Amino acid sequence: MDDDRHDGHGAPSRIRKDVIIKAVIRDMRKYYKYDFNALTGFISRGKGRKEGFYRECLIRYLQEKFPSFLASANPTPLLIDT
């Protein structure tokens, strides 16, 4: 951070907490979006995707990246055909 910021009246200004949180969440979303696509190829497959493809990719991603989450949670809702 830049410690030389001022609020226009000579007092040092501080970056608001909500602005920092928003930036962190945006970076996390961007990371997981690219990671999800790198593992599953979801975006690169284009328009010819079959129904349920997103769910299949999501299950595969969760199994690969978060196996302890699926082991502790009840994964049945993810596996039920809709």
Residue 37: CB partners within 8 Å, gap ≥ 6? 43, 44
Q: Which of 78, 75, 76 is nearest to 57 (CA)?
A: 78
pLDDT in tens, 54-73: 889 998 999 999 888 777 76
Do 78 and 58 touch, CB atoms closer than 8 A? yes
pTM exceeding the 0.85 threshold for the entire prediction: no
Do 38 and 45 touch, CB atoms closer than 8 A? no
Residue 6: CB partners within 8 Å, gap ≥ 6? 12, 13
pLDDT in tens, 9-55: 665 667 889 999 999 999 999 999 999 999 998 888 777 778 888 88
Q: Which of 62, 55, 61 is nearest to 81 (CA)?
A: 55
